[in-house]
Every structure is written in C-alpha cells, then in structure tokens.
Amino acid sequence: MIRIEPSYQELQEKDVVKVEKDGLRVSVIAGDCLGIKSPIYTRTPTTYLDVIMQPGALFHQPIPEGWNAFAYILEGTPTFGTVNTPAISAHHTVQLGPGDGISMWNKSDSVSRFVIFGGQPLHEPIVQHGPFVMNTWEEIEQAIYDFQHAQNGFEKAASWISDPVTYV
C-alpha cells in the first residue's frame, strides 16, 4: 500500500515541473525524474509521475529498493520490464516488482501515456470499505459519518462535480 500523509499543498498546472527529453515528456508531480525534482514535499518518500512517450521512446525510472510502485496506463500500449515483454493496453495497472527501477518502451506507432506512483511502505494495518481506506474499522465509520454529514473535509461533497483536466 502507498499512503501519502495529509499535508495540503496547492500546486497549479503551471507550477508542475516538466522535463522533455528523447521523445519523453514527464510531469514530475512528486519525487524526482531525469534530474528534475518536484517542489511538493511528502512526509513519506513518494514518486508521482505523468509520463508521455512518443513512438520509439525508451524510459528508465529508478524505484528505490523496498518501495511499492505501480503504473496505470492512460493511453497507448507501452511495454514494461524488458523489450520482449508484451505491451499493456490502456486502463490497466502494472504492479512494479522489487529492483533498482523499471524500464519502459513505446514500440507502437502512437503516443503512450501512463502515471507512475511509488512510495515507501508504512507497514500499517489497512481497512477498506467502499471508497474509504483507513487503518481501523472505527476510522472507516468516522469517514462515512463525516461524508454523510458533509464535515471534516467533505463539506462540498454533495455538490461536487468531477471536471477532469487533460494535460498534453
């Protein structure tokens, strides 16, 4: 499990650091990539990258030993691991195993885009119910109560409407 300790930090799109190199465009939301470090502070060491790969691009991202990490493919069919591994299609998750990092290729004729999340495990108990993930059942009950009563961070939940933003 990856859990980011709560510490609200406003980061607008214009403030997200980006690096472009060899057919890659990486938005470094948390952590570091290709020598660029995000301005976001995380109490638990964390990586959050939004990666766009042009056809033929190769990318290697270090993942520290002992971290948990995964990639979620948004579009395209990137290959993870070795060049001969089958490509993964959009809307699938790739759980990254232990090692010194992960290599990715875009062997297709179209752009591939995915996000990488990684972090140092906290080794805490996990309780999940619906969309809520906490450490104890009592915390789950409190989160449900807070949601139902629009309090403790859920004040605008009843009127909230998703407005997804596409970064290209």
Residue from 32, 66, 68 nearest 49 by CA: 32
| 5 — pLDDT class (breaks 50, 70, 90) | low
Contact in structure between 60 and 51 (CB atoms under 8 Å): no
Task: Indicate if the pLDDT at residue 137 is higher than 90.
Answer: yes
Higher pLDDT, 26 or 155: 26
Tokens of 112: 């591939």
Tokens of 33: 């990539």
Q: What is the mean pLDDT of residues 82-90?
A: 90
Q: What is the rounded distance in angstroms from the CA atom of residue 24 to the CA atom of residue 88?
A: 18
Domains detected in the chain: 13-119 (2.60.120.10), 127-159 (no CATH)
Higher pLDDT, 1 or 142: 142
Render pLDDT for 32-46 as a digit per residue (tens, 0 to 9). 999 999 988 888 889
Q: What is the rounded distance in angstroms from the CA atom of residue 95 to the CA atom of residue 148?
A: 33
Res 161: pLDDT: 76
Res 6: pLDDT: 55
Contact in structure between 88 and 73 (CB atoms under 8 Å): yes
| 112 — pLDDT class (breaks 50, 70, 90) | very high
How does the average pLDDT of the chain come out, rounded?
A: 88
Compute the 3-state secondary structure of the chain and give helix, strand, coil in percent, each to the nearest 5. Answer: 10, 35, 55
Res 13: pLDDT: 84
SS3 label, residue 137:
helix
